[in-house]
Amino acid sequence: MIRFFKSVKYALRGLFKTFREEQNLQAQSIIGIITVVLGFGFKIEPLEWCLIISVIFLVILMEMINSAVERIADALKPRIDTYIKELKDIMAAAVMLSATLAVVVGLIIFIPYISAVLSG
């Protein structure tokens, strides 16, 4: 049981360190919080909640993986410069794709609610 709590402690330390140091993660988290508030405001359906929460976590997860890969890449930078640049570009693209998915899912879910309010 002690090992479990130590693992949680290390994970939370990594989460908070990444959150403090990465502006993109902070911005994405704020957008996620705004999205959750909108979900409560519009009283979205349980399946919609599942999708919203999933894409929010996907974006945050991808940003954290990107941050970890960037740190590893920076440690190796002097040895393999061209590959490091490509690796960082690929990770940035992965984050961008996950964020794009989140926007698309958000639009599909929220546009009908917004339309109902505007027309109602």
DSSP for 69-92?
HHHHHHHHTTT-HHHHHHHHHHHH
Q: Is 33:56 a contact under the CB 8 Å cutoff? A: no
Q: What contacts 26, CB < 8 A, 6 or more positions away? A: 19
Q: Average pLDDT over the chain, rounded to whole?
A: 93
In 22-45, which residue ranges form alpha helices assigned H by DSSP? Answer: 23-42
Locate the domains of the chain by residue range: 2-119
Q: At residue 120, does pLDDT exceed 80?
A: no
State the pLDDT at residue 79. Answer: 67
What six digits make up the tokens of 39?
A: 């979900």
State the pLDDT at residue 46. Answer: 98
Q: What is the pLDDT of residues 27-71, one digit of tens each?
A: 999 999 999 999 999 999 999 999 999 999 999 999 999 999 988
Burial of 53 (0-12, 13-18, 19+ CB in 10 A): middle
What six digits make up the tokens of 90?
A: 């690929």
Alpha-carbon gap, residue 69 to 107, rounded angstroms: 30
Q: Residue 44 carries which DSSP code? A: -
- CATH code reported for the domain at 2-119: 1.10.287.3610
- Percentage of the residues of the chain whose pLDDT score is greater than 90: 82
Q: Provide the whole-model pTM.
A: 0.88
